[in-house]
C-alpha cells in the first residue's frame, strides 16, 4: 500500500481523503490517503518526515501552496505559472516534484462536465490572490475573447495581467489550437470600482470574500444574457456568490465542488497513471 495525504492548516474539514478513498475503491489502486495538520512554522519539516516514512505524494492546501512552491526545485509549467504547488510527487529515489492541478480542474469541470466553451467568450475573473493565480493561465490558454482580472486592490490585478501577458509571449505553446479566425485574447486588470457597463459571459469568483460571507462589490449588470457564474468556493449551502448569481439572472450557477474533485482526479493521475471517473464522486459529495 502506497501512502498519500493532504497537508494544510486547518485540515479537519478537507474532503480530499473522502475523494481519494472513493478513487481508490473505484480503480482498485492500493493506496491509503490521510490528512496532516501542517506546522505553520515548519512546512518543510513536515514534508521531510512524510517522505522519510515512505510517503509517495501530498496534496497541499491552504496556507502552504506557496511554501511548497518555494521548497521544491523541480516544478511543472503549471506550478511555475501559478506560483503555487497543490500536488507533490515523490519520485523513486526520494526526489520531489511540484505540480498544480487547480487550473486543469476548473477547466475540466467547466468544459467537460458542464459543456461551457471558453473560446471567444468574455470572461471576468474576480480576485488576484493565490486562487486566481492558480487558474489564470489555463483560462487564458482556452482562448476566450477577453479575460479581465478585477480585484478590490487594483494594482494586484494589473500586475497579474501584465505578468500573464509576459509569460504568454515567453511560452505560447500551451494554448489550445487556434480558432479559425486566430482570435487573440484581450487581457487586462482593473479595480472592482472600474467595472461599469461591460457584460461578461462568465464571471469566476476567485476571491476569499465568501469565507466572510461576503461577495465582491461588483455592479448589478455585469452578466451578459445567458451568462454563467462560477464560484471557486464550495460549501454545503449555496455560497454567497452563487446566491448573487441566482439573483442576478445567471443562466447557470456553479460552485467549486466539481473543480475540487477534478483537481483531485488530476493529482491521482499524476501519482498512479490511472484516471478515475469523477461524476460518481461529485455525486457522492453533493448528495452524501
Ligand atoms: P486566496 O489564496 O484564497 O486567493 P489570498 O491570496 O489572500 O487568498 O487572496 C484573497 C483574494 O480575495 C484577494 O484578491 C482579495 O482582494 P485584495 O487583493 O484586495 O485583498 C480578495 N478578497 C478578500 N475579501 C474580499 C472582499 N470582501 N471583497 C472583495 N475581494 C476580497
Per-residue pLDDT tens for 154-182?
A: 999 999 999 998 887 776 666 665 444 44
What 3-state DSSP class applies to 160?
helix
Whole-number Å distance, alpha carbon 155 to ligand 1 midpoint, is 13
| Of residues 138, 112, 116, 104, the one with CA closest to residue 229 | 116
Whole-number Å distance, alpha carbon 149 to ligand 1 midpoint, is 12
Sheet of 55-60: strands edge to edge?
31-37, 2-8, 55-60, 87-90, 96-99, 74-75
> What's the CATH code of the domain at 59?
3.40.50.10860
Distance of CA 137 to the CA centre of its chain: 11
| Of residues 159, 166, 97, the one with CA closest to residue 129 | 159
Query: Model confidence over 234-286: pLDDT tens digits?
Result: 988 999 999 999 999 999 999 999 999 999 999 999 999 999 999 999 999 99
Which protein residue's CA is at the shortest distance from atom 21 of ligand 1? 207
**Active-site annotation holder among 20, 65, 97, 137:** 65
Q: Are residues 140 and 211 in the same domain?
A: yes
Q: What is the mean pLDDT of residues 111-135?
A: 96
Q: Scan for cell 469568483, then name that residue.
A: 205
Q: Are residues 73 and 109 in the same domain?
A: no
Q: Are residues 153 and 282 in the same domain?
A: no
Q: Are residues 43 and 168 in the same domain?
A: no
Instruction: Decide whether any atom of ligand 1 lies within 6 Å of the 209 Cβ.
Output: yes
pLDDT value for 276: 98
* Tally of structural domains, the chain: 2
Which protein residue's CA is at the shortest distance from atom 16 of ligand 1? 152
The DSSP H or E segment spanning 88 is: strand 87-90
Q: Are residues 96 and 146 in the same domain?
A: no
pLDDT value for 174: 63
Q: Are residues 136 and 70 in the same domain?
A: no
Query: Model confidence over 74-119: pLDDT tens digits?
Result: 999 899 989 999 999 999 888 999 999 999 999 999 999 999 999 9
Q: Are residues 48 and 191 in the same domain?
A: no
- How far is it, in rounded angstroms, from Cα 4 to Cα 88? 10
Q: Are residues 74 and 160 in the same domain?
A: no
Mean pLDDT of the chain: 94
The parent domain of residue 122 ranges over 103-255
Specify the pTM: 0.94
Q: Are residues 50 and 175 in the same domain?
A: no
Amino acid at each position: 500500500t502506497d501512502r498519500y495525504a493532504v497537508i494544510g492548516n486547518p485540515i479537519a474539514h478537507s474532503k480530499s481523503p473522502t475523494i481519494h478513498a472513493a478513487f481508490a475503491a473505484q480503480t482498485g489502486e492500493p493506496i491509503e490517503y490521510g490528512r496532516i495538520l501542517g506546522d505553520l512554522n515548519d512546512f518543510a519539516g513536515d514534508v521531510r518526515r512524510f517522505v522519510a516514512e515512505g510517503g509517495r505524494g501530498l496534496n497541499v492546501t491552504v496556507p502552504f501552496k506557496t511554501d511548497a512552491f518555494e521548497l521544491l526545485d523541480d516544478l511543472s509549467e503549471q506550478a511555475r505559472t501559478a506560483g503555487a504547488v497543490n500536488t507533490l510527487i515523490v519520485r523513486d529515489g526520494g526526489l520531489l516534484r511540484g505540480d498544480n492541478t487547480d487550473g486543469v480542474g476548473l477547466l475540466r469541470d467547466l468544459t467537460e462536465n458542464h459543456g461551457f466553451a471558453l473560446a471567444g467568450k468574455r470572461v471576468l475573473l474576480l480576485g488576484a490572490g493565490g486562487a486566481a493565480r492558480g487558474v489564470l493561465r489555463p483560462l487564458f490558454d482556452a482562448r476566450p475573447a477577453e479575460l479581465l482580472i478585477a480585484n478590490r486592490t487594483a494594482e494586484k490585478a494589473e500586475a497579474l495581467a501584465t505578468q500573464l501577458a509576459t509569460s504568454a509571449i515567453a511560452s505560447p505553446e500551451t494554448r489550445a489550437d487556434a480558432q479559425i479566425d486566430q482570435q487573440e485574447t484581450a487581457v487586462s486588470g482593473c479595480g472592482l470600482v472600474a467595472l461599469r457597463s461591460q457584460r461578461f459571459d462568465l464571471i469566476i469568483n476567485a476571491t476569499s470574500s465568501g469565507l466572510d460571507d461576503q461577495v465582491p462589490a461588483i455592479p448589478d449588470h455585469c452578466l451578459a444574457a445567458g451568462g454563467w457564474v462560477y464560484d471557486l468556493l464550495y460549501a454545503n449551502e449555496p455560497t454567497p456568490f452563487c446566491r448573487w448569481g441566482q439573483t442576478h439572472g445567471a443562466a447557470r450557477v456553479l460552485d467549486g465542488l466539481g473543480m475540487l474533485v477534478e483537481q483531485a482526479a488530476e493529482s491521482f493521475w499524476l501519482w498512479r497513471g490511472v484516471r478515475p471517473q469523477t461524476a460518481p464522486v461529485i455525486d457522492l459529495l453533493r448528495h452524501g
